[in-house]
Amino acid sequence: TEEEMQAVTDNLIFAQDRCQNELGAEFYVLGIPNKEMVYAEYMPDNVVKIADTTRGAQLQKYVSDHSDIIYVYPLPQMREAIGLEGEKADPSVAAPIYYRTDTHTNIRGAFIAFQALRDAAFGNGESYEDHKFFVVSQEYVGDLSALLQMEDTFGSDTVYAMNWDELDRTVREEKTLLIVGDSFGEMIRNVADAYYTNVVYLNINEVEITWDVIRSVEPDIVLWEAGERHISRLGMARFFQ
């Protein structure tokens, strides 16, 4: 609802003001799309699409229209990278950017999301190309497999890593990036390590996050990350109070 979106916006404005005024830190928001939004064409026919706009896109537009916060929801960039929008790739051969057996992005998806953020914030996001990644393992068991208790049947997912030699190392900054987020933030942290000398990731499901904890990190940049299924937390969480 509009009331919920305004509550999120108010909370983010408060967080941004406090980071800027008390820490001298930049503040950004990154929403990670749900997997079914990226691969919408592959959903079963009995899953009915009730709206053309996702909750993530709706909230991102509202926050952007009602504040100066840089809030990135990289659904278009993700779909373009795997050929589901535009002409950048062939979807029949594109490597997955989410784990097949998991609800989370793999490092490829996190890379696309983080570059979209860098593009919006600094105008220097890197392009997504296959040679920037390599296979580490093909034995990953994701959360969907575990939920279904079918780890033995669906336990052969591919794990990728970034090839740092193929990245633009000239843009790596001697700054501290603080990521406050959910489980999707772990992969974002892995990507961010290539661009900042110090990356601190606080998982809201594992750490009690308070303003004192945030301040103790002494961040230059604060990134609040939220998976689309958890975006309501952007209006309820009081980490910056």
Q: How confident is the model at residue 143 (pLDDT cuts 50, 70, 90)?
A: low
Residues 178 and 200: their CA atoms lie apart, in Å, by: 5
Q: Which residues contact 170 (CB under 8 A, 6 or more apart)?
A: none
Q: Any idea what the Cα angle at residue 184 is, between residues 11 and 121, rounded to 5°? A: 60
Nearest residue to 95 (alpha-carbon basis) of 141, 157, 146? 157
3-state secondary structure of 204: coil
* pLDDT surpassing 70 at residue 89: no
Q: How confident is the model at residue 86 (pLDDT cuts 50, 70, 90)?
A: confident
Give the CA radius of gyration of the chain: 18
pLDDT in tens, 114-126: 999 999 999 989 9
pLDDT in tens, 63-79: 999 999 999 999 999 99
Give the phi and the psi of residue 24 in degrees, each rounded to 5. Answer: 65, 30
* Structural contact between residues 177 and 196, judged by C-beta atoms closer than 8 angstroms: yes
In the block, which residue shows the tokens 């601190």?
200
What's the whole-model pTM score? 0.91
In the block, which residue shows the tokens 């993700």?
78
Residues 176 and 215: their CA atoms lie apart, in Å, by: 12
Q: How confident is the model at residue 150 (pLDDT cuts 50, 70, 90)?
A: low
